A and B are shown apart, each in its own frame.
Chain A
Amino acid sequence: MRLLALLAAVVVAPAFAQPIEALRTPPVKVHAPSDVLRVCADPDNLPYSRADGSGFENRIARLLAMDLGVDLQFAWLPDRRGFVRKTLGAGDCDVLIGVPAGFERVAPTRPYYRSSYAWVQREGAGEPPSSFDDPQLAGRRIGIQLIGDDQATSPPGFALARHAAGAHVVGFPIPGDKPAAQRIVEAIAAGELDAGIVWGPQAGYFAKRASVPMRVAPMAAPPDLARVQPFAFEIAVGVRRGEDALRQRVDEALVRHRAEIDTILAEYGVPRVEGTP
Chain B
Amino acid sequence: MRCLVLALAGLLAGTAALAQPQADGQWTMAARDHASTRFSPLAEVTPANAAQLQLAFSFPTGLSRGHEAAPIVAEDTMFIVGPYPNPLFALDLTKPGAPLKWRFDPKPHPSSQGVACCDTVNRGAAYDKGRLFFNTLDNQTIAVDAKTGKELWRTQLGDIKKGESMTMAPLVVKDKVLVGNAGGEFGVRGWLTALDAATGTIAWRAYSTGPDKDVLIGPDFKPFYKSDQGKDLGVTTWPSGMWKIGGGTVWGWVSYDAELDLVYYGTGNPGPWNPEQRPGDNKWTSGVFARKPDTGEAVWYYQLSPHDLHDYDAVNESILVDLDLQGSKRKVLLRPERNGYVYVMDRTTGQVLSATPFVHVTSSLGVDLQTGALKYNPAKDARMGETVRSICPASPGAKDWQPAAWSPRTRILYIPHQNLCQDASVYEASYIAGTPFVGADVKMYAGPGGHRGVFTAWDPVAARKVWEVKEDFPVWSGALVTAGDVVFYGTMDGWFKALDAKSGKELWKFKTDSGIIGQPVTYRGPDGKQYVAVLAGVGGWAGAIVSGRLDPRDGGAAAGFVNAMRDLPERTKAGGKLYVFALPGSGK
With contacts A148-B163, A171-B272 known, is A100 near B431, CB below 8 A?
yes
Is B48 positioned at the interface, with any CB of A under 8 Å from its CB?
A: no
Structural contact, B429 and A152, CB atoms closer than 8 A:
no
Structural contact, B427 and A228, CB atoms closer than 8 A:
yes
Structural contact, B428 and A104, CB atoms closer than 8 A:
yes
Alpha-carbon distance A90/B548, docked complex (angstroms): 10
Which of B227-235, B319-327, B335-343, B569-577 is found at the contact surface with chain A? B569-577
Q: Mark A113-156, 1 if CB is under 8 A from B, else 0.
A: 00000000000000000000000000000000111111111110
Which of A17-25, A60-68, A244-252, A257-265 is found at the contact surface with chain B? A17-25
Nearest CB to that of B548 among chain A residues? A85
Is B355 positioned at the interface, with any CB of A under 8 Å from its CB?
A: no
With contacts A9-B566, A171-B272 known, is A176 near B161, CB below 8 A?
yes
Is B241 positioned at the interface, with any CB of A under 8 Å from its CB?
A: yes
Structural contact, B240 and A202, CB atoms closer than 8 A:
no
Alpha-carbon distance A198/B351, docked complex (angstroms): 45
Structural contact, A2 and B272, CB atoms closer than 8 A:
no
Q: Mark A85-103, 1 if CB is under 8 A from B, else 0.
A: 1000110000000111111
What are the residues of chain B within 8 A of A233 when measuring CB–CB? 429, 436
Residues facing A in B341-390 (CB within 8 A) are 382, 384-385
Is B440 positioned at the interface, with any CB of A under 8 Å from its CB?
A: yes
Q: Please pick, from B384, B430, B551, the residue contacting A103 in the complex, using a CB distance under 8 A.
A: B430
Structural contact, B429 and A6, CB atoms closer than 8 A:
no
Structural contact, A171 and B245, CB atoms closer than 8 A:
yes
Residue total for A at the interface (Cβ-Cβ under 8 A): 76
With contacts A26-B569, A150-B395 known, is A83 near B432, CB below 8 A?
yes
Is B186 positioned at the interface, with any CB of A under 8 Å from its CB?
A: yes
With contacts A85-B557, A99-B431, A169-B277 known, is A153 near B385, CB below 8 A?
no
Structural contact, A199 and B435, CB atoms closer than 8 A:
yes
**Secondary structure class of chain A's binding surface, majority of residues:** loop
Structural contact, B573 and A177, CB atoms closer than 8 A:
no
Q: Mark A25-37, 1 if CB is under 8 A from B, else 0.
A: 1111000000000
With contacts A169-B239, A175-B186 known, is A147 near B435, CB below 8 A?
yes
Is A45 positioned at the interface, with any CB of B under 8 Å from its CB?
A: yes
Nearest CB to that of A234 among chain B residues? B429
Is A162 positioned at the interface, with any CB of B under 8 Å from its CB?
A: yes
What are the residues of chain B within 8 A of A5 when measuring CB–CB? 555
Is B275 positioned at the interface, with any CB of A under 8 Å from its CB?
A: yes
Name the residue among B161, B163, B187, B571 with the largest chain A CB count within 10 angstroms: B187
Alpha-carbon distance A80/B186, docked complex (angstroms): 10
Is A194 positioned at the interface, with any CB of B under 8 Å from its CB?
A: no
Nearest CB to that of A46 among chain B residues? B434
With contacts A155-B438, A174-B432 known, is A149 near B185, CB below 8 A?
yes
Alpha-carbon distance A201/B434, docked complex (angstroms): 9
With contacts A161-B274, A169-B239 known, is A152 near B551, CB below 8 A?
no
Is B242 positioned at the interface, with any CB of A under 8 Å from its CB?
A: yes
With contacts A6-B553, A158-B384, A171-B272 known, is A202 near B434, CB below 8 A?
yes
Q: Mark B560-588, 1 if CB is under 8 A from A, else 0.
A: 00000011011111100000000000000
Alpha-carbon distance A6/B559, docked complex (angstroms): 19
Structural contact, B569 and A147, CB atoms closer than 8 A:
no
- Chain B interface extent, by class: 35 or more
**Distance from A136 Cβ to chain B, minimum over Cβ atoms (Å):** 16
What are the residues of chain A within 8 A of B556 when measuring CB–CB? 104-105
Is A212 positioned at the interface, with any CB of B under 8 Å from its CB?
A: no
Structural contact, A25 and B274, CB atoms closer than 8 A:
no
Alpha-carbon distance A145/B431, docked complex (angstroms): 12
Q: Please pick, from B185, B433, B555, the residue contacting A79 in the complex, using a CB distance under 8 A.
A: B433
Alpha-carbon distance A166/B278, docked complex (angstroms): 9
With contacts A23-B570, A152-B430 known, is A173 near B241, CB below 8 A?
no
What are the residues of chain B within 8 A of A152 when measuring CB–CB? 274, 430, 437, 439-440
Structural contact, B546 and A25, CB atoms closer than 8 A:
yes
Structural contact, A146 and B439, CB atoms closer than 8 A:
no
Is B117 positioned at the interface, with any CB of A under 8 Å from its CB?
A: yes
Alpha-carbon distance A241/B551, docked complex (angstroms): 11
Name the residue among A99, A154, A174, A225 with the largest chain B CB count within 10 angstroms: A174
Q: Mark B446-466, 1 if CB is under 8 A from A, else 0.
A: 000000000000000000000
What are the residues of chain B within 8 A of A228 when measuring CB–CB? 384-385, 427, 438
Alpha-carbon distance A271/B122, docked complex (angstroms): 45
Is B554 positioned at the interface, with any CB of A under 8 Å from its CB?
A: yes
19 A-B contacts, Cβ less than 8 Å apart? Answer: A1-B426, A2-B555, A23-B573, A24-B570, A28-B549, A83-B432, A98-B431, A100-B429, A100-B436, A147-B432, A148-B433, A152-B437, A152-B439, A154-B435, A160-B277, A174-B187, A201-B434, A228-B385, A229-B385
- Taking A101-B429, A105-B556 as known contacts, 8 extra A-B pairs with beta carbons closer than 8 A to each other, sorted by chain A number, are A79-B434, A81-B185, A81-B432, A100-B436, A150-B311, A152-B430, A155-B438, A171-B242
Residues of B participating in the A interface, judged by any CB pair closer than 8 Å: 111, 114-115, 117, 160-163, 185-187, 239-242, 245, 269, 271-277, 279, 311, 382, 384-385, 395, 426-440, 546, 548-557, 559, 566-567, 569-574
The 10 closest A-B pairs by CB, nearest first: A228-B385, A173-B187, A100-B429, A175-B163, A153-B274, A233-B436, A161-B277, A152-B439, A161-B276, A27-B551
